[in-house]
Structure 1
Amino acid sequence: MLKAAAAVAALLAVLCCISSMRVAAAAAAMPAQQSPDPCGCLNTYRPVCGGGTRFINSCKAECAGFAAAEPIGPDNCNATDSSRNDDDWPDFPDICTCGGIYAPVCAGRNFTRYFANACEARCAGFSVSKAVGRSGTCPPSRP
């Protein structure tokens, strides 16, 4: 009986090792996931204006290519955003809460840019042009 218990314990140890090796191999073979926000910006609400577009904070503005974003109050950006659809925005002015959903898209304004999801693209004042794969690449902008 003791030999049978030792044999079962040895077999379980071998199976455990094989299972661990398979998990490690599978993890190594998986492509690295990209961050849901390509710039690593938080959704902290400190609104700024960049190029006439409202952004939730300066990090999001800089991520969209605006280096000198100005702090703003709720209604003084003078933004004209033709892609803004009131159904896509919450009732409180200028707040975008897009969540952490990773469904990458390409979006354009004067140039094409990658966003983690369509909500973040619209929040940054871009018009969504197409969904992209996990590569996170968009076709080059046309001059």
Structure 2
Amino acid sequence: MIKTALALSTIILISGCSSESEPPASSASTSDTATEQSQPDYETTDQWVGRWTGVEGLFLKISKDEPADPGHYLLEMQYGLDAEQSGTFEGQATDEGISFSRDDGQQLLRAGDGEATGMKWLAEKEDCLVVATGEGYCRD
């Protein structure tokens, strides 16, 4: 009985020691993974550089913001039918797309298809960027 208790105590002590050494290693790799995952994919958003066409004369022209860090863009847009619904906005790559701010608030430009734009004139397109339902730009 004493031998069994001693053996169990030894096993518990050994397993307790090994448990203490494991979490730092796994938490280090977890933080490395989190750091890697938090880096936006500039290769994807860099492919969006160029001109995109909306409906009724609306357009989006994306260019790299060369003086800024990678993943920064200039978005020249005519996003509404009124003359004041246009401008050039600074954007930054995120995991979901390109985040930017304009007079109507914070926006997110993300990849989609014509169906995602919510506009029947673009419904058949496959290569599109969408700000919101009713606002999208496509390439032919």
Sort the TM-score into its range (normalised by shorter chain).
Answer: 0.3 to 0.5
Q: Higher strand share goes to which structure?
A: 2
Report the TM-score when normalising by structure 2. 0.33
Q: TM-score, normalised by structure 1?
A: 0.33
Select the structure of larger CA radius of gyration. Answer: 2
